[in-house]
Copies of this chain bind each other. A is one copy, B any other.
Amino acid sequence: MPPSPHVEKHFTATEVVRDIVIGMSDGLTVPFALAAGISGAVASARIIVVAGLAEIAAGSIAMGLGGYLAAKTDAEHYAAEREREIRETVELPDVETEEVAKVFREYGLSDAQMAPVVQAICGNQTNWVDFMMRFELGLEAPDPRRANRSAVTIAASYVVGGLIPLAPYMALSDVISGLRFSVVITIVALGVFGFVKSSFTGISPWKGALQTVITGGIAAAAAFGLARLVS
């Protein structure tokens, strides 16, 4: 079943945007919160930069590879379920025909009304299996290029996001000045990111901006408080 151009566009845009959002929201938040957190416990901006860069390396790779494996797993899960459905149309055709009928029954169709449709769908194995995958299991065929693209998009977004809060500690050797500038530019960056992100998901941009700023703030405050407490 070839998806209509409308649906395909809809999904591709969503997935790339989602990957950027996944990478950048954590990239802006966690290195910022970590640097702010340990600035309450260590006196050297150098250690903060080292820890921050180590976090960006670890976080971007972990999230990028995580995205790669998630996309691969989705593809393998889809292939395994599809194999199962193909087998079932051969071994249990009555059960599978009834499952097609069940989908239409949920829309209030009588057996007489749906009979020609059910017969047409089950008369062609490819259509039959496609129908079961999408309408019984709710699974869409994954894009085979998604795994690599997803990994690179997430990791790059994390690195870009993470370098923003860390830049002041690199430029200024004083921890307190670094922390102040880091707080200001990260709040601005989180706000802009939240604002732009919202335009893709259809929620209010100002609400989106506020949400990301608050998320980053809570994470940083918790990291700061915990680091103070244990040091």
A33 contacts across to B, CB distance below 8 A: 54, 57-58, 61-62
Distance to closest chain B CB from A175 (angstroms): 14
The reply to whether A69 and B7 form a contact with Cβ atoms under 8 Å apart is no
Question: At the interface, yes or no: A176 with Cβ under 8 Å from chain B?
Answer: no
Q: Which of B29, B117, B202 contacts A58 (CB 8 A)?
A: B29
Q: Residue on B with the closest CB to A84?
A: B202
The reply to whether A76 and B202 form a contact with Cβ atoms under 8 Å apart is yes
Q: Which of B50, B104, B113, B116 contacts A231 (CB 8 A)?
A: B50
Question: At the interface, yes or no: A135 with Cβ under 8 Å from chain B?
Answer: yes
Chain A interface secondary structure, helix, strand, loop or mixed?
Answer: helix
* A47 in contact with B54 given A7-B137, A117-B113, A215-B66 (CB within 8 Å): no
* A61 in contact with B120 given A66-B25, A107-B1, A136-B7 (CB within 8 Å): no
A:1-55 near B, CB below 8 Å: 1-2, 4, 7, 10-11, 22, 25-26, 29-30, 32-34, 37-38, 41-42, 46-47, 49-51, 53-55
Question: At the interface, yes or no: A163 with Cβ under 8 Å from chain B?
Answer: no
A212 contacts across to B, CB distance below 8 A: 69
* A107 in contact with B127 given A30-B62, A57-B37 (CB within 8 Å): yes
Question: At the interface, yes or no: A171 with Cβ under 8 Å from chain B?
Answer: no
The reply to whether A34 and B10 form a contact with Cβ atoms under 8 Å apart is no
Chain A residue total in the interface (Cβ 8 A): 80
The reply to whether B80 and A107 form a contact with Cβ atoms under 8 Å apart is no
A110 contacts across to B, CB distance below 8 A: 120
Q: Which of B54, B109, B227 contacts A54 (CB 8 A)?
A: B227
A224 contacts across to B, CB distance below 8 A: 54
The reply to whether B59 and A30 form a contact with Cβ atoms under 8 Å apart is yes
The reply to whether A76 and B117 form a contact with Cβ atoms under 8 Å apart is no
Q: Which of B65, B114, B130 contacts A215 (CB 8 A)?
A: B65
The reply to whether B76 and A104 form a contact with Cβ atoms under 8 Å apart is no
Distance to closest chain B CB from A173 (angstroms): 14
Question: At the interface, yes or no: A144 with Cβ under 8 Å from chain B?
Answer: no
The reply to whether A47 and B47 form a contact with Cβ atoms under 8 Å apart is yes
A-B contact pairs, 8 of them (CB 8 A): A26-B62, A42-B47, A50-B230, A54-B224, A61-B223, A107-B131, A108-B120, A135-B135
